[in-house]
Structure 1
Amino acid sequence: MMSCDMISVLAIYIIIMKKIVVFGECMLEFAPMASQQYQRGIAGDVYNTSVYLQRLATELAQVSLLTALGRDAVSYNMLSQFQAEQLNTDYVYRHPARTVGAYLIDVDSEGERSFTYWRGQAAARETFALVSDKQLSQLIEHTDIFYFSGISIAILAQSDRERFWQFVEQLAAAGKQIVFDTNFRPQLWPDKVLAQQAFQRALKLSTTVFAGVEDLEQLAMGECFNSVAMSLKDYAIDELVIKHGEHGVQVIEGEKSQFIAIEPVANIVDTTSAGDSFNAGYLYARLAGSSASSSVNFASLLASHVIQHRGAIIATEDFAPIQASLNTLMQG
C-alpha cells in the first residue's frame, strides 16, 4: 500500500505531464556514408523534433505522432521504430493504398546538405482524410501542446488543408498551446502567394513560433531579426523565437526582447535536423522551467551535437552520453 506522501508525489507527477501532439510526415532517409554508400533511416522535420523531445522529456511529457502510414512492410517497420522511440502511436492512421515518402541527402565539404525527394505517394498527405470528426474531438481533449511546421501544411492536399485549419482553430479556442515552426520548402508549394496565405493563417493561430529568418525571407516576411520582428508584431504570439543560424537567436515575449549569441561549431559533419533538434531542446528546457536565454543555450548545445553526426537522428546508444551531459547542464 502506498503512503500518503507517495500518493501526493504521484498526483503531482500526473498533473504536470504534458500531452504533446506533433503533426507531419516521417520519411525514409538515405544519408551518405563513406565510398558513395547510403545508410537507411527514418526522419522528417517534425519527426526529428518529436524524437529528441521525447528522449529528453520522458518524465515531463508524452509525445504523440499525428500522421499516416501505409499497410506495407516499410510502413510497419517505420511504426515499430516510432514505438522504439517511446512515441505514442495512437494517432498514426493507416492508408489502404499509399505508403511512405523518401529522400536522399547529399552533403558538401562544409557540411551543408541538399535533398532529393520522392514523396508523392506518402500516406501522410491524406492524414486528415483518414481521421473522423469524433477522433479529432477526442484528440483536442487529450492535447496540451500541438506542434506543426510549414512542411506539415505544405504536404496536405488542398481539399484536406481546410479541415486541418478547422482542427487548429478548435485547439486554439480550447486554449491549447500551439507551436509553429516556419520550415519553408518552396518546391512543396504551387506558388508563393498560397504559401504566404497559409503561413499567415498559422501565425494567427499560434502561441509559440520558431521563426527562421531564411524561411521568412523567401516569403517576403523579413530578412533580419528586426524586420522579422516587425513583420510578425501584429500577430498574438506569446513567445517568438527568431532563429538566424550562426548569427544568433532573438526571443520576444510580449514587450520583452532579448538576443542570445550562438557559439559556432568547428566540426560540422551534417546540418540535417539542426533546427528540428534546436526546437526540441528549447521546448524541453521551457517545460523544465528554464528561462528563455537558458533554453536557447541548451537547445544550441543539443543542435551542436546533432550536426556533428551523420543523418537526422543520432543513434540511441550514441545519444546516451550526450543526454547525460545535457542533463548535467540542465541541473546546473
Structure 2
Amino acid sequence: MNTLSPLGPNTPRIALIGECMIELQQRADGSLQQSFGGDTLNTAVYLSRAMGDKAQVDYVTALGDDSFSDAMCRSWAAENIGLDLVQRLPGRLPGLYCIQTDAAGERRFLYWRNEAAVRDCFTTPAAAPILAALPDYDVLYFSGITLAVLGVKGREKLIETLIEARQRDARIVFDNNYRPRLWASVEEARAAYRSVLPHVDLALLTVDDEQALFHFEDCDAVFEAYAQIGTPEVVLKRGAEACLIRCDGEAFEVPAQKVEKVVDTTAAGDSFSAAYLASRLSGASPAQAAEAGHRLASRVIQVPGALIPRA
C-alpha cells in the first residue's frame, strides 16, 4: 500500500496510459469542429497544466503514421506532455468519436474505434522497452477505458507492470470510466476491473459507473467494497453533487461548485481527477484536492469540448 502525498523533492515522473481519439464536436447548426480527446489524455493535459515544471507527464499509447496522429503528437508536445512512450504503427489510424450535446449540456458519444492502433499498444515488439520503463515511474494512471481498449493480452501486460511498479513504490491511480459498448459483456468488464483493483492506491470513481457495473445499492456499499479490496484512497465523484472521499479511515464530503449555465460536461470527471491528483502530489489534503477538482471541473463544463483553452 503506497500513500499519495507528497512525492518528495525530486520531480515526479507520471505516466498516463490510454487512448486519444479524433474528436468531432457537433454544433447547433450541424457543423463539426475537429479536435482531439480521450479520458486519460484529457487528464494528462490538465495534469501537465496544473503541475507545470514540478512534474514530468508522459503519455502511453499507440497511434498510426497518418496526419491526424502527427497533429496529436504536436498538440501534446505543446502541452509539455512527453512522447517517448508513444508508438507509431505503420498503416494504422487513431479512433474517432463525435460529441452531441443536448440543451442541458449532457452529452452523447458516437464512436468509430474498432481498428484503432491503441488496441495493439502492449502487444507489439516495440512495446517491450515501454513496459520495461513504466515501473520506474512515480505514478501510473489508467482508466476503465484503458482496460477495454487494451484487450485481454494487453491487460495481462498491464497487470504485470502494475505489480512491478508498486514493488518499486510507485503510486497506481485508476479512474473507473465504465463504457458498456467497449465490452463484450458486463461479466467480462467486471472480471477485468477486479483483476486490477487490488493493485490500485487511489481510485477515482464515478458513482453512476460503479452502480452500472457492480450494481451497488448506494455510496456506502461502494466504499465497503473498496475497503474489502484494500484501496487506501477512494474518491466518489457525483457530478453536481458533493464528492465523497474515504482516505486511510477518514471520511470527507466536499460540495461541488455551482455553475449557472452548463455548456458541455465532456471531461468534467477527467479534469476533476487531474486537479485532485496534482493537489495530492503537491501535499494537499484530500478535502483540499477535491476543492481543486471541483474548481477546475466547473470551468471545463462551461466551454464546449474536452479541453478548454489555456487562457
Do the two structures share a fold, i.e. TM-score over 0.5?
A: yes
Check conservation: 1:101, 1:120, Cα contact below 8 A: yes
User: How far apart are residue 231 of structure 1 and its match?
Assistant: 1.9
Q: Could you say which residue in structure 2 is the equivalent of 1:310?
A: 304
Q: Distance in 2 between matches of 1:43 and 1:252?
A: 30
* Farther off after superposition, 81-90 or 217-226: 217-226
Q: Give the AA of the match of 1:39.
A: Q
Q: CA deviation at 1:220?
A: 2.0
CA contact (8 A) 2:121 2:127 kept: no
Structure 1 Cα separation of the partners of residues 229 and 151 of structure 2:
26
Alignment partner of 1:21: what SS? Answer: strand
Alpha-carbon distance change, 34 to 74 in structure 1, aligned in 2, over 3 angstroms: same
- Does the aligned pair in 1 maintain the 2:16–2:58 contact within 8 Å? yes
Offset of residue 139 of structure 1? 2.7
- Seen in structure 2, the aligned counterparts of structure 1 residues 54 and 249 have a Cα distance that, compared at 3 Å, is same
Report the residue type matching 1:226 in the other structure.
D
SS across alignment from 2:229: coil
| Residue 171 of structure 1, CA deviation | 1.4
Counterpart for residue 138 of structure 1: 133
Once the two structures are superposed, residues 303-326 of structure 1 have per-residue CA deviations (whole angstroms, 9 ceiling, x without a partner) of 00000000000123xxx3xxxxxx
CA offset at residue 166 of structure 1? 1.3
Name the residue aligned to 1:6.
none
Report the Cα offset of residue 279 of structure 1.
Answer: 0.3
Alignment of 1:172 with 2:166, yes or no, is: yes
Q: Which residue in 1 is equivalent to 2:107?
A: 113
Match of 1:219 in 2: 213
Q: Does 1:65 align with 2:72?
A: no
Q: Please identify, of 188-197 and 229-238, the stretch whose mean Cα deviation from structure 2 is larger.
A: 229-238
> 1:221, 1:228 within 8 Å by CA — same for their partners in 2?
no
Contact 1:221 1:227 in 2 (8 A): no
Q: Which structure would you say has the larger Rg?
A: 1
- 2:97 is paired with a residue whose SS is strand
- 1:41 corresponds to: 35
> How many Å separate the matches in 1 of 2:151 and 2:255?
39
Give the whole-Å Cα distance in 2 for the aligned partners of 1:14 and 1:241: 23
Q: State the partner residue of 1:202.
A: 196
Structure 2 gaps of 5+ residues are 1-6
Once residues 124 and 251 of structure 1 are traced to their aligned partners in structure 2, the CA distance between those partners, rounded to angstroms, is 32
* Percent pairwise identity: 36
| Distance change >3 Å, CA 220–CA 177, structure 1 → 2 | same
TM-score, structure 1 as length reference? 0.88
1:263 positional shift? 2.9
**Matched positions, count:** 304
Q: Please list every run of 5 or more consecutive structure 1 residues that lacks an aligned counterpart in the other structure.
A: 1-12, 321-332
User: Quick one: distance in 2 between partners of 1:289 and 1:304?
Assistant: 22
Question: Alignment partner of 2:34: what SS?
Answer: strand
Q: Distance in 2 between matches of 1:268 and 1:136?
A: 40
| Two-structure CA RMSD over aligned residues (Å) | 1.6
Partner-residue secondary structure (3-state), 1:272: coil
Q: Which has the higher contact order (CA 8 A, sep 6+)?
A: 2
Within 2, Cα distance between the matches of 1:296 and 1:281?
8
Q: In structure 2, the residue corresponding to 1:105 is in which secondary structure?
A: strand
SS of the residue 1:157 aligns to: helix
Cα pair 1:147 1:179 within 8 Å, conserved: yes
Whether contact under 8 Å (1:18, 1:61) holds in the other structure is yes
How far apart are residue 221 of structure 1 and its match? Answer: 4.7
- Deviations 1:21-78 (CA, angstroms, capped at 9, x unpaired): 0000000001123411111000000000000000110132111000011111111111
SS in structure 1 opposite 2:121? helix
The aligned amino acid for 2:280 is: R
Match of 2:4 in 1: none
* Local SS of the residue matching 1:202: helix
Q: What is the letter of the counterpart of residue 269 of structure 2?
A: G
